[in-house]
Amino acid sequence: MKQNRKTHICREEVEHVAWLAHIKLTEEEKNLFTEQFSRILDYFKKIDEADTDGVPPTYHVLDLVNIFREDKSGKSLPKKEVLKNAPRQEDGFFKSPRIV
């Protein structure tokens, strides 16, 4: 696959990412991913060209202030009901494996 433009990511970087992900790539796949990753980075360059002067930063796409319900105390479940599906329990508590 011949590349007519400067790539943003080199073949060695693709090989390194594959090594980190424990993925074996063929030579053809390495060439393909090098090209595809470079095209993805081209899209980011287009986004960088957008004029954002005067546009306030957006931290959330929806105009929501607080979507959480109010905390209210209530009656707890009986201990027997809480522990009935516990795989292991001891003295009325959940028992978990010892971690050293």
C-alpha dihedral sign at 90, 92, 93, 94: positive
pLDDT, tens digit (0-9, with 9 covering 90-100), for 7-28: 589 999 999 999 999 999 999 9
Q: Identify the CA nearest to 8 among candidates 32, 34, 31.
A: 34
Q: Per-domain residue ranges for the chain?
A: 11-48
Mean pLDDT for 38-52 is: 90
Whole-model pTM over 0.85:
no
The model's confidence at residue 4, banded by pLDDT at 50, 70 and 90, is very low
Mean pLDDT for 29-55 is: 91
Per-residue pLDDT, 78? 93
Q: Identify the CA nearest to 24 among candidates 15, 37, 33.
A: 15
Residue 35 · residue 7 · CB < 8 Å: yes
Task: Measure the CA–CA gap between 52 and 48, rounded to whole angstroms.
Answer: 9
Residue 4 · residue 39 · CB < 8 Å: no
**Which one of 1.10.20, 3.80.10, 3.30.200, 3.40.50 gives the CATH number of domain 11-48?**
1.10.20
Per-residue pLDDT, 6? 58
